[in-house]
Amino acid sequence: MPKVTVIPAPINPLTHLPKAATQKRRVAGYARVSTDSDEQFTSYEAQVDYYTKYIRSNPEWDFVKVYTDEGISGTNTKHREGFKEMIADALNGKIDLIVTKSVSRFARNTVDSLVTIRKLKENGVECYFEKEGIYTFDGKGELLITIMSSLAQEESRSISENITWGQRKSFADGKVHLAYKHFLGYEKGEDGRPAVVEEEAAVVRLIYRLFLDGKTQAGICRHLENLGIPSPSGKEKWSKTTITSILTNEKYKGDALLQKSFTVDFLEKKTKLNEGEVPQYYVEGSHPAIIAPDEWDHVQAEFARRKALGKAYSGKSIFSAKLVCEDCGTFFGSKVWHSTDCYRRTVWQCNSKFKGEERCHTPTVDTETVQRLFIKAYNQMMGKRAQIIEDCEAMRKELTDFKSLDADIERQFEETQVVAELVKAAVKENATTAQSQESYYKKYEALTKRYEAAAAELEQLQNLRTLRSQKDKSMALYIRTLKKQPGVLQEWNDTIWTVMVEKAIVHRNGEITFVFYNGTEISVGA
């Protein structure tokens, strides 16, 4: 029988160090708190101090450093710079052992936790979780880590759900919370509600006024930068998206639409725009307004107008996309005459005047003429203000009389339901009873066409109702605006032009017909 001599392995397969070596292990600590609030700061400092002393007190260890992350969630490792630096150093051979408080301090995500630990293990780096008493090189270590990581992940889910429930309860109670750090115009008041910061509110009001005076978002950005006004984040440059956000945020009129977005993944903290998946809450008068509600509504109406115009709108002038040619219906555009001499002036001319086979015969008009004629038309209209308001109120009653329309919608909805049931019955019958497939397909196709026709008519009726509701709101806004305006206009006013005039038609004889948003038309000539 052959003689077998066992030659002991001189190298530890996990640490890759000689078993008989007395070399000290290079040890690092990892400390993390999941919030940056003052209450947690002491805990953060205490962890750093604790692990520094703990590692230095062991004569078999060499202290490397304590890696830290402050104010970072543990649900994933993407933004934890201290953690990533520690792992990189460990994989580069600078660390033999990592000591941390618990599995939950390391990561609350099972996948992140196990992948990282296995990667470290493959490179001879061990982890010690003090609270659980787990060394990852221990044979039982990985099973315990898997269990503990899963528990930690479920704890994160539970916390996330509790936070979400608390937020939605807060929304349902009408409580408004703002990201005050980057929200221009408000700060957190003593009562916990938004309070106006007057210096910042003045900037918000300026932005709204500039928009109603015809400027685009890009033009407003340039204006604010020229004035040296910093953005909400303190930067010199403003962005168009910031201006758009300010102009469309209902919180500036004292209301609040809550739960505009929601978290879809508690681990990745992914959020998405709320498109009806979860409830929303609209709170009226939740806090002091910076912008009058009617002015806010005028801005939204002007946004819709410019969006419909697309590239036809230009922020170069208040007259952009409002002066219309009688001959071809094209907008007038600005032209500069005598651009290089002392007779330089800007005039308005049909953009298609020389494009077609038959040229337009409408004249050019200058800014002063349009302004003068508008003041004349405005004053004529205001002389009939009482009658116009009475007519508008009558029109509103007619627009909001939905009795007949709602009956048609209900009838058409029932028709779609009936046909849908007939389709289901036909499909079920075909699946359970032998019949001519040609006859079945004819029947199915006829029902499908009937359903599509009914659904199309239903959609048309619903759209008509929506359109009438929108017209009613526009008419109500126009009435309120009309009541607030001066009875006689002495000089030109950009904002009155923007909020009251839909278009101005330039005629061949030089007259201009001003069409106001309520449909009133007044023609005046030079």
What whole-number distance in Å separates Cα of residue 350 and Cα of residue 335? 10
pLDDT, averaged across the chain:
81
Are 214 and 268 part of one and the same domain?
yes
- Do 101 and 130 contact (CB within 8 A), yes or no? yes
Quote the pLDDT of residue 163: 45
Are 148 and 43 part of one and the same domain?
yes
Considering only residues 8 and 179, tell me which one the structure prediction assigns the higher pLDDT: 179
Q: Would 78 be classed as within a structural domain?
A: yes
b/e per residue, 299-338, with b = 16+ CB within 10 A? bebbeeebeeeeeebbbeebbbbbbbbbbbebbbbbeeee
Are 92 and 108 part of one and the same domain?
yes
Are 306 and 345 part of one and the same domain?
no
Neighbour-count burial of 395, counting CB atoms closer than 10 A to its CB (0-12 exposed, 13-18 middle, 19+ buried):
middle
Q: Would 215 be classed as within a structural domain?
A: yes
Are 359 and 507 part of one and the same domain?
yes
Quote the pLDDT of residue 462: 92
Using 50, 70 and 90 to split pLDDT, how confident is the model at 259? low
Q: Could you say which of 131, 160, 189 is where a domain stops?
A: 160
Give the CATH number of the domain where residue 63 resides.
Answer: 3.40.50.1390
- Do 352 and 358 contact (CB within 8 A), yes or no? no
Quote the pLDDT of residue 62: 93
Identify any residues that bridge with 514 across adjacent strands, giving them in sequence order: 504, 522
Average pLDDT over residues 124-145: 78
Has residue 68 got a pLDDT over 60?
Answer: yes
Give the CATH number of the domain where residue 215 resides.
Answer: 3.90.1750.20
Average pLDDT over residues 416-443: 87
Quote the pLDDT of residue 456: 92
Are 418 and 505 part of one and the same domain?
no
Total domains present in the chain: 4
Q: Would 218 be classed as within a structural domain?
A: yes
Q: Could you say which of 293, 310, 327 is where a domain stops?
A: 310
pLDDT, tens digit (0-9, with 9 covering 90-100), for 279-310: 666 778 778 899 998 999 999 888 888 888 88
| Domain of 65, in residue numbers | 25-160
Are 196 and 144 part of one and the same domain?
no
- Token couple for 416: 């779609």
Are 354 and 425 part of one and the same domain?
no
Quote the pLDDT of residue 266: 40
- Do 302 and 315 contact (CB within 8 A), yes or no? no
Q: Would 342 be classed as within a structural domain?
A: yes
Are 235 and 355 part of one and the same domain?
no
- The upper half-sphere exposure of residue 401, i.e. CA atoms within 13 Å in the direction of its Cβ, equals 7
Q: Could you tell me the CA-to-CA distances from 31 to 69, 74, 281, 381 in Å, in that order? A: 7, 11, 40, 73
Q: Would 451 be classed as within a structural domain?
A: yes
Has residue 454 got a pLDDT over 60?
Answer: yes
Quote the pLDDT of residue 175: 59
Q: Are strands 281-283 and 323-325 parallel, antiparallel or unpaired?
A: unpaired
pTM for this prediction:
0.56
What whole-number distance in Å separates Cα of residue 60 and Cα of residue 259? 55
Has residue 35 got a pLDDT over 80?
Answer: no
Are 33 and 126 part of one and the same domain?
yes
Are 65 and 119 part of one and the same domain?
yes
Q: Would 17 be classed as within a structural domain?
A: no
Q: Could you tell me the CA-to-CA distances from 223 to 207, 252, 300 in Å, in that order? A: 9, 21, 21
Average pLDDT over residues 161-188: 63
Neighbour-count burial of 109, counting CB atoms closer than 10 A to its CB (0-12 exposed, 13-18 middle, 19+ buried):
buried
pLDDT, tens digit (0-9, with 9 covering 90-100), for 462-491: 999 988 998 898 899 989 988 989 999 999
Q: Could you say which of 310, 329, 352 is where a domain stops?
A: 310
pLDDT, tens digit (0-9, with 9 covering 90-100), for 483-516: 989 999 999 998 889 888 999 999 999 999 999 9
Q: Would 349 be classed as within a structural domain?
A: yes
What whole-number distance in Å separates Cα of residue 165 and Cα of residue 266? 13
E strands of 211-331, at which residues?
256-258, 261-265, 270-273, 281-283, 323-325
Average pLDDT over residues 214-220: 90
Residue 437: how many other CB atoms lie within 10 Å = 10
- Do 66 and 48 contact (CB within 8 A), yes or no? yes
Has residue 214 got a pLDDT over 60?
Answer: yes
Q: Would 153 be classed as within a structural domain?
A: yes
**Minimum mean pLDDT among 4-13, 344-353, 438-447, 476-485: which range?**
4-13
Are 215 and 156 part of one and the same domain?
no
Nearest to 229 by CA among 185, 186, 192, 264: 185
- Give, as one character, the DSSP assignment of residue 284: T
